[in-house]
Amino acid sequence: MPEPFRSAMPESRPLPPYFGLLAVDAKDSTRLPSVQHAPLSRAIAEIIHRSLEAAGLKEMRREFENNSGDGLSFGFDPSWVPFVISPFTEVLNKLLQRHNAGTGPRIRLRMSVHIGPVPVTPGLPGDGNAAPRSETHRLLDSEPARSCLARADAHATPLVVIVSDAVHHAVVVGGYCALQRSRFTEVRAEVAGKDFAQTAWMYVPSPSGELLHQPAAQPESAKGLAEEADDAVPAGPQSCRTRFQHVEYGVAVMDSTMRDVHHHTVHHQGPGRL
C-alpha cells in the first residue's frame, strides 16, 4: 500500500473566522492619582457598553473582551461594522460630552476599527490573538490618531476614530455605512519604533480647533440617535474620508484622553446579512 504523500513544506490549515475589532484607551491616565484608576476603568467600560445599547447594538456579541485598565477592546461579528462606525461613534461621542460636563476627570478617546481572521479559543490563553488584533492597536497608537486628538479642542472633541483601509473600502466606499466618504481623511498610520505603516482613514464626529479646516456635517439620523442617548448616562465625575467592503467579521479599537488634573468573549449573534 503506497505511503501518503508527505511534503517538507508546512501544512496548510483552515483560515480562522473574520472578526471586527474595537478598542479604546484612556490617554494621560497616569496623570491621575492611583485611587482614581479603578473608577476610570469602570467609567470607560460603562460608557462604551451604554453607547452600544443606545445605538441599537445591544445584541452584538463581544468576543475576547479585554479591559486594559485605561482602555477596552473586543472582537465582534463583522456584519456589525457599518453600525459600529455609525451610529455607535456618534452616540459614544455624545455620551462622552455628557460625562465630561461633570466634575470628574475628562475622558477623551481614540478609537480604531479593523477586520481580519482571528482564532477563537474561549477560556484559553491567547484567545483572539493574531496579526489583525495587533494591527488594530497599532492604528490606535499611530501618530495621526494621537495628533488628531491633540489638535482638537479638549472640550468640544472627546472622540477621534481611525479605521483601516480594508474597513474603509468595504464599508464606507461599499456604501454600507451611513457616513459619506467625505467625512473621512486618508492618513499614513505609523507608530514610532514599530515596524508598522499602513494607509488608514480618520473620522471625527465633532471636529474642532485645527480640525475645522475640513468641516463635515453630521448626518441627521446620527444626530437623532445621539440626542436620544443624551439621557443614557447621567452626568458625573467625569476631517476625514473612508472605504469598506462586506466581510465575515470585523474589529474596532478606541483610546481615551484624560483631562489634566495636575497630579504630576462570549459569542453574540450578529444581525442578518447586509
Backbone angles phi, psi at 175, to 5 degrees: 85, 10
Question: Which pLDDT value is given to residue 5?
Answer: 62
In whole angstroms, give the CA distance from residue 96 to residue 137.
21
Q: Cell 469602570 maps to which residue?
A: 42
Predicted TM-score of the model (pTM): 0.78
In whole angstroms, give the CA distance from residue 257 to residue 203.
17
Average pLDDT, stretch 37-44? 85
Average pLDDT, stretch 47-53? 97
- Split at pLDDT 50, 70, 90, the class of 124 is confident
In whole angstroms, give the CA distance from residue 209 to residue 220.
23
Cell of 154: 479638549
In whole angstroms, give the CA distance from residue 28 to residue 37.
11
In whole angstroms, give the CA distance from residue 85 to residue 83.
5
For residue 106, which of 156, 53, 171 has the smallest C-alpha distance? 156
